[in-house]
Structure 1
Amino acid sequence: MTPLLNLVEIGGERKNQLVGYGLVVGLDGSGDRNQVTFTAQSMSNMLRQFGIQEETRAKTKNVAAVSIHADLNSVTSPGQQIDITVSSVGDAKSLKGGTLLLAPLYGVDGEVYAFAQGNLVVGGASAEGGDGSSVTVNVPTVGRIPGGAIVEKAVPPSGADASFVSLNLKTPSFQSARNIESALTAKFGGGVATAYNAGAVRVRVPSDPSMRVNFLAMLEDVPVKEGRQRPRIVLNSRTGTVVMSDTVYVRRAAVAHGNLTVAISESTQISQPNALSGGTTERVRRSTVSMAEDKARMTVMPEGTSLDKIVASLNELGATPSDLMSILQALDEAGALDADLIVI
């Protein structure tokens, strides 16, 4: 049995998306280049607000223009903090170590609902050599600031019927909706709950605000038998993280995995003209490209393979997290994966 609170969300208490634009400063030379004009313009506008007039255009290599995203719950009050995500909109190499300057966050109606500021937490990293070679791990141009925005304005209440609330199932299921209706009917009597579809159950509630809160608090603790849910596999494309639930299994399938390696090497040669030819000495760049494909290994996954055997088989193939994502997507396309594949 599962508490009702774990299965549903109260209708009307939805999340509202906020968006904003700002500047991240304090970067170690990994910010936007000078050709990104809107970053320089934003920097100049900010300095003018502090009474600083520029004689020349500011160099922005330590500054990056970013977009800011956040979700504001309808029950969040002014003064509370919400998490934000910051993403580069220019050609910055990394946001690691940066600080977001004060920026407003707007709702879909154009009103300011929060202000964001703080130090970024970046999960990626990058390094670049003097010859232009570089290495990047995950995505260093996206970061988060836990509690990075302070709410200044609450979301207006919805105009829904105060005598009813909708319990929206987090994972739609006809079995779960039926079981919720039966559990609420057994506890509060007939006519209180009605299952409309696989994703919603309508519940009659008191119109008095105080009694309404007490009734909803009682609803949260009602034990409900959850219907069968399809297992899930969540793939995080930015970090290469793969999370699988315990009930994931595959139908009988053969999997082959091989790596294709492309190597490019460049060298500079000197072209010397013949004596008295009137030519000039020139530098010529030579590129050598080679491709090599590792010998693929094939393994057979029998019907009903458990999670442990799936992981062992993929490890035997030498699959990295990135390879694992590709293999799982291929199994899903082939119809051999009995799970919902979610990419975030």
Structure 2
Amino acid sequence: MMLLGILLMPFIIQQLDFVKIKPLKGYIREEKDSFLNLNNWFSGKYQEQHEKYVQSHLKIRPFLVKLNNQIKFLIQKDISAANVVIGKQGYFYERHYIWTHFGLDFSGEDVIHKKVVHAKRVVDSLEKNGVRFLLVLAPGKAEVLPEYIPEDQIVEKRNPSNYEVYSSYFQHSGIHWIDFNSYFKRLKDTISYPLYSKGGTHWSIYGSYIAIDTIMIYMEYLLKKDLPDYQYPVYDITRKPRGTDKDIANACNLLWYHFDENLYYPYLQKKNNRQGYKPKVIIVGDSYYWTIVNNGVQKVLFDSFYFWYYFKENHSNNPKMPKEVDRIINLRKFIENQDIILFVITDGNLREFSWNFFETLEKLYRIN
């Protein structure tokens, strides 16, 4: 009877509307049902595809997948997620950040030099038209914490990395920039809480607040204006990761996980009644900036806020704005109505620098 109950469990759960099972995280391929005709039936293609469709739409499937992943993780210390690596002391890494650290995605020095030269020409044109520019090189987990990379992922003979060569050219380009790889490396052994959580791929939420402080100081310097004062009067310390501090762990689709570390969660608030100058800001950036967006910084510190995610999607506090950057009418005029552009990119995305942003502005400003 017990065996029969186990065999019937998927069917029973499928029929019970009140049973709710959390879906799987990450990219899940959606199987479509097969079209029934004589050819599909006699070739067996209909049965094969219909079986995949039924299996993928079983209500209990997410639980069974997570159970299988959990057993594999506990027994073999392995993860089913294709791009995830378990490092030393329980640190999770995305594999391509390790490749980036060891220079396996190196773009080539000539390519990098040309891209920085083109970027400087665009920045000069922006500055002449009253728009300040700050390039923010967000840190990479493998670059900041290479000591936890597992031995089987270490490349003994390293190529130059995109980070090393880009940072060398940025240093002498005249472009205002912040190198958070270098800063976090210096900082990591002097602070009480992690700049990277074990289960996250982005800077920790605490690390993102450190980045905010640094960016705001530099923005004040560039804009020559007194920006709003803020503070962190309330905070939580917990071993339970929140938000992006568990993004890799969530993508592994485990039933549970535990990371032995204290995480620090401050809450940003306006410091006093003095208004200060709230700048109009465009952020061109990758997923690292989402951590800052989720902190609600723009509501306290910025007047208007436009986050151009990979220079494609437009996320804004203005509901009338189009959702795609390429649908903004008179892009040059729109840009010149802002105070400053922040260009935020992590080392793992330098191989795609700059998502066609500088190339687009070269055309707008007719730079040869």
Fold shared by both chains (TM-score > 0.5)? no
Ranked by relative contact order (alpha carbons within 8 Å, sequence separation 6 or more), the top structure is 2
Q: In terms of Rg, which structure is larger? A: 1
